[in-house]
Amino acid sequence: MIKKIGLYDSGVGGLSVVRAIRRALPGADMVYTGDTCHVPYGEKPFSEILEYSRGISAFLAGKDIDALVIACNVSSAVACGYLLETYPGMPVISMIECGAALCGGSGSVGVLATEGTVKSGAYPAALSAAGFRGAVAQEACPEFVPIVEGNLLGTAFCREACRRHCQKVAGADTVILGCTHYPLMLEAIREFLPKSRIADPAEEAARRLLEIGAEGGGRLEAYTTGDREQFEKTASLFVPGIKARRLVWKEGRLEEDN
């Protein structure tokens, strides 16, 4: 039985995973870290993403978590192996594996993701490992994370970005939302992919945790490495009324900013 779940992302996007877990396990206690001073991760070198993942996971481990969710697709691609080795007794849930698990029975799969996730090749590899043998079309969407972090949802810029990128995966039986920011853009994405099933890896992550089980008071402890007020404003789109504390990076480690 899980008592506390740790999650992290480059920004607010991972809160879509928090939201999905809350629906499945309303009593689960969670600790969330949004590394907003480094957002977006998708265009950064993999070596930097791994270093951020090391520092954040160490901070979360210090909060006595007993399950870790990498609520970021490119971090899942880059850091999952390291985290599994570092925390061998702890469930570590990867968005990549969760997304691939949702594609059973599909003849073709599309992936909307960040540039880093597409370059990693993690989704085609995970789909192949899961037994998928159909066509995989990947599309990097560099504007999507800034749209969410900048609260530009519903704008003409958002709609045009969705139209342009979705046409590259149109026709796929299943389209994976390969970044945890993208569920907030679901309405616009569905407009341009009316015939595709949209797969959100957060739902599979929540299902896997539900299988293990969790107990607690439903508390959420949130942290940001960037501007706290801006984080809370944008994060409230996922979790209304959220409050956060600020963290600072010091020589590769995270410390609370008192």
What pLDDT, in 10s, does the model give residues 147-170? 999 999 999 999 999 999 999 999
* pLDDT value at residue 211: 96
Q: Do the domains 97-201 and 4-94+203-256 match in fold?
A: yes
Whether 72 sits among the annotated catalytic residues: the reply is: yes
* pLDDT value at residue 83: 98
d(C-alpha 17, C-alpha 90), whole Å: 18
What residue spans define the domains of the chain? 4-94+203-256, 97-201
By percentage, how much of the chain surpasses pLDDT 90?
Answer: 97
Residue 147: what residue type?
A: I
What pLDDT, in 10s, does the model give residues 44-87? 999 999 999 999 999 999 999 999 999 999 999 999 999 999 99
Q: How confident is the model at residue 41 (pLDDT cuts 50, 70, 90)?
A: very high
State whether CATH 3.40.50.1860 applies to domain 4-94+203-256.
yes
* pLDDT value at residue 123: 98
Assigned fold of 97-201:
Rossmann fold (3.40.50)
Q: What predicted TM-score, i.e. pTM, was given to this entire model?
A: 0.95
In this structure, the number of other CB atoms found within 10 A of the CB of residue 167 comes to: 12
Residues 6 or more apart whose Cβ sits within 8 Å of residue 102: 174, 176, 199, 200, 201, 203, 204
Q: Is the pLDDT of residue 258 over 90?
A: no
Which spans in 87-169 are helix H?
95-101, 115-120, 122-129, 144-149, 156-166
By percentage, how much of the chain surpasses pLDDT 70?
Answer: 100
* pLDDT value at residue 54: 98
Q: Is the pLDDT of residue 207 over 90?
A: yes
Could you give the dihedral angle defined by the CA atoms of residues 116, 119, 121 and 122, in that order, rounded to the nearest 10 degrees?
-10
Average pLDDT over residues 30-42: 97
Which two tokens mark 245?
A: 């504390």
Q: Is the pLDDT of residue 29 over 90?
A: yes
Q: How confident is the model at residue 186 (pLDDT cuts 50, 70, 90)?
A: very high
> Which residue is catalytic, options 98, 141, 162, 179?
179
- The whole-chain average pLDDT of the chain stands at 96
> Which residue is catalytic, options 72, 80, 103, 166?
72
What pLDDT, in 10s, does the model give residues 85-130? 999 999 999 999 999 999 988 999 999 999 999 999 999 999 999 9
Average pLDDT over residues 10-32: 96
| Chain centre to alpha carbon of residue 174 | 18
